[in-house]
Amino acid sequence: MVKGGKDHLERSAMHLLHRAGQCAADIFASEARTSGLTPRQFAVLTVVAEEEGLTQTDLVERTGIDRSTLADIVARLLGRGLIQRRRSKDDARAYAIKLSPQGARALREAQPGAAAADQKLLATLPPGKRQEFLETLNLIVSAARK
């Protein structure tokens, strides 16, 4: 038998964050199922809606999604007609990404489900711990970017 077992996993931040991420993705899929978006597609569309004309490199920086996965997400969103791209004015080698009208509609349709997913996730915590939890997650993410 492997030393540690279940007790070890229950004390592993890495394992628990991974499992929490899986739970969050499942809740998002349930709540936002009619949108047909994944949590990462939703994140990309959200960032593009907030700042039109970002390049894929900018999207990697803003979302934390790795370069190859982001390229796949962009290809899928393009294929579904949810985003458009054109050569960047600042760098002719890069593409600037913009929401299409269909992408704006898909994002609007997914937003209530995403908000409900966030509410469900946070509802598992006592009200006084919710903001602290979000701040702690932001600390982890910020530290990982350095």
Question: Mind listing the pLDDT tens digit for each residue in 94-144?
Answer: 888 999 999 999 999 999 999 999 999 999 999 999 999 999 999 998 887
pLDDT score, position 4: 55
Q: Does domain 32-116 have CATH number 1.10.10.10?
A: yes
Tell whether the model's pLDDT for residue 1 goes beyond 80. Answer: no
CB contact at 8 A, 55 and 91:
yes
Q: Rounded to two decimals, what is the model's pTM?
A: 0.86
Q: What is the largest CA-CA distance in the chain?
A: 60
Q: What is the pLDDT of residues 47-101, one digit of tens each?
A: 999 998 899 999 999 999 999 999 999 999 999 999 998 887 777 778 889 999 9
The pLDDT, as a whole number, for residue 90 is 75
The per-residue pLDDT for 91 is: 75
> What would the two tokens of residue 27 be?
């809740």
Q: List, in order, residues 6 or more apart from 136 with CB less than 8 Å away.
A: none
pLDDT in tens, 28-52: 999 988 889 999 999 999 999 999 8
